[in-house]
């Protein structure tokens, strides 16, 4: 099973079965489900740095908790020393000490992620893991799992959506009682970003929303209407994750939205894009435009995500065609023709472009004449 995966085969050639090296977590789950693992997590009973060196390649990150990230031959490995974790208080980062493989499996989130595959092919797993995998069931390992780490609600939601698994009843009720407030906005923000980059983000957001309403703000709509159409309109230079977020938050109060995005740790540019796009989608003169120039006036300056979300034929025409149209003349031509430096140059160019969009002028000479003939007022 491991040999069939090229990055798994590399592990097998770097280590002997007795070296205390095991594939762990999501990669084992995915291999058993016959899905391609996204990255290989490796647990090491012993010295992580020495194991990283044995893999060859480049060690891109490592820390004092005994973790290392290795890139070698097109493969990425996350190495972690087998460890036990305890939580001093709800939502705190864990206290970590070296532990056994069994302890390492016990610190994990759900049973289907608490499995390790030794290089000799032996599988170590927490109780019930294989039965849960076969049944397509997500189950936390103990009752205080979401108290220790409330971000696990996000993880369970993402797995439910991606794997099509059901959430076991007790786990569902524990998730419903989880308190997201014991964890910082930044940590929730990282989880939200992961959800937005899932293969089916609305399904992941919906799953989280169903598990616990307190994880997403008032007015957040996990499955907004029109999202698929908007994504289909979005050009390659647009951000699918931010468009999705804007669609989900279009019904939110504008101020509450900004405050929430700040709390989730979005950079100012991303926050402003989402806010602009979610506003644009609600009331826009784009649909009412009658000419290309009116479409341009409605859409110009708005992020492509906003225009895609507004939708319709005009959005398509702007995104595919109109936004790429340029004049052949520039401000230098107007300066050379005697127009004084200042905002009038830009205004004349813009009006000329609008006339070009409407098919009234074509070619450099006509553009220049049109730009000069205007009175600038």
Which residues of the chain form contacts with ligand ATP (CB under 6 A)?
Answer: 25-26, 38-39, 41, 108-109, 113, 149, 151-152
Q: Which is nearer to ligand ATP, 149 or 168 (CB)?
A: 149
Q: CB of 25: closest distance to ligand ATP in angstroms? A: 3
In whole angstroms, how close is the CB of 36 to ligand ATP at the nearest point? 10
Between strands 166-167 and 137-138, the pairing is parallel
| Per-residue exposure over 126-162, b if at least 16 CB sit within 10 Å of its own CB, e if not | bebbeebbeeebbbbbeeebbbbbbbbbbbbbbbbbb
Least Cβ distance, residue 113 to ligand ATP (angstroms):
3
Helices 48-55 and 6-14 sit at what angle, rounded to 10 degrees?
120
Distance of alpha carbon 33 from alpha carbon 52, whole angstroms: 27
Which residues are CB-neighbours of 370 under 8 A, at least 6 positions away?
Answer: 352, 355, 360, 361
Q: Is the Cβ of residue 55 or residue 353 nearer to ligand ATP in the bound state? A: 55
- Residue 153 or residue 274: which is nearer to ligand ATP going by CB? 153
Number of residue whose CB is nearest ligand ATP: 26
Pair 258, 275: CB distance under 8 Å: yes
3-state DSSP assignment of residue 314: helix
Laid out side by side, the sheet with 67-72 consists of 58-63, 67-72, 75-81, 40-44, 21-24, 115-118, 123-125
- Choose between 105 and 353: whose C-beta lies nearer to ligand ATP: 105
Of the pair 4, 36, the CB lying nearest ligand ATP is at 36
Closest distance of CB 78 from ligand ATP, Å: 7
- Whole-number minimum distance, CB 97 to ligand ATP, in Å? 16
CB of 289 to ligand ATP, least distance (A): 43
The residue assigned the tokens 């069994």 is 102
Report the residue number, 152 or 314, with the smaller CB distance to ligand ATP: 152
* Residue 185 vs 311, nearer CB to ligand ATP: 185
Nearest to 327 by CA among 377, 372, 368: 368
Closest separation between CB of residue 229 and ligand ATP, Å?
28
Rounded Cα distance between 163 and 64, Å, is 33
């Amino acid at each position: 099973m491991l040999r069939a995966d090229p990055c798994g085969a590399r592990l097998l050639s770097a280590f002997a079965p007795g070296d205390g090296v095991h594939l762990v977590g999501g990669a084992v789950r995915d291999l058993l489900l016959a899905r391609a693992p996204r990255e290989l997590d490796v647990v090491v009973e012993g010295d992580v740095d020495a194991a990283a060196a044995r893999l060859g390649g480049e060690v891109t990150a490592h820390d004092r908790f005994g973790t290392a990230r290795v890139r070698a031959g097109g493969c990425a490995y996350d190495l972690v020393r087998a460890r036990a974790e305890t939580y001093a208080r709800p939502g705190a980062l864990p206290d970590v000490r070296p532990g056994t493989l069994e302890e390492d499996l016990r610190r994990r989130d759900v049973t289907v992620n608490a499995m390790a595959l030794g290089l000799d092919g032996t599988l170590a797993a927490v109780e019930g893991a294989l039965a849960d995998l076969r049944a397509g069931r997500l189950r936390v390992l103990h009752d205080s799992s979401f108290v220790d780490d409330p971000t696990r609600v996000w993880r369970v939601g993402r797995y439910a959506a991606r794997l099509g698994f059901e959430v076991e009843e007790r786990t569902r009720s524990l998730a419903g009682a989880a308190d997201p407030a014991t964890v910082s906005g930044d940590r929730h923000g990282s989880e939200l970003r992961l959800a937005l980059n899932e293969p089916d983000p609305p399904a992941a957001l919906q799953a989280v929303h169903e598990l616990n309403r307190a994880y997403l703000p008032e007015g957040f709509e996990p499955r907004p209407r029109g999202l698929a159409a908007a994504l289909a309109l979005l050009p390659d230079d647009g951000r699918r994750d931010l468009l999705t977020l804007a669609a989900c938050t279009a019904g939110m109060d504008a101020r509450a939205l900004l405050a929430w995005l700040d709390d989730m740790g979005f950079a100012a540019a991303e926050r402003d894009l989402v806010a602009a796009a979610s506003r644009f989608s609600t009331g826009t003169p784009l649909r009412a435009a009658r000419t290309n120039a009116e479409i341009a006036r409605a859409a110009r300056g708005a992020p492509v995500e906003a225009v895609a979300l507004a939708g319709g034929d005009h959005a398509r025409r702007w995104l595919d065609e109109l936004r790429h149209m340029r004049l052949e003349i520039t401000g230098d031509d107007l300066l050379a023709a005697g127009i004084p430096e200042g905002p009038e140059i830009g205004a004349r160019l813009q009006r000329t472009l609008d006339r070009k969009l409407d098919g009234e002028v074509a070619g450099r000479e006509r553009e220049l004449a049109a730009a000069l003939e205007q009175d600038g007022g």
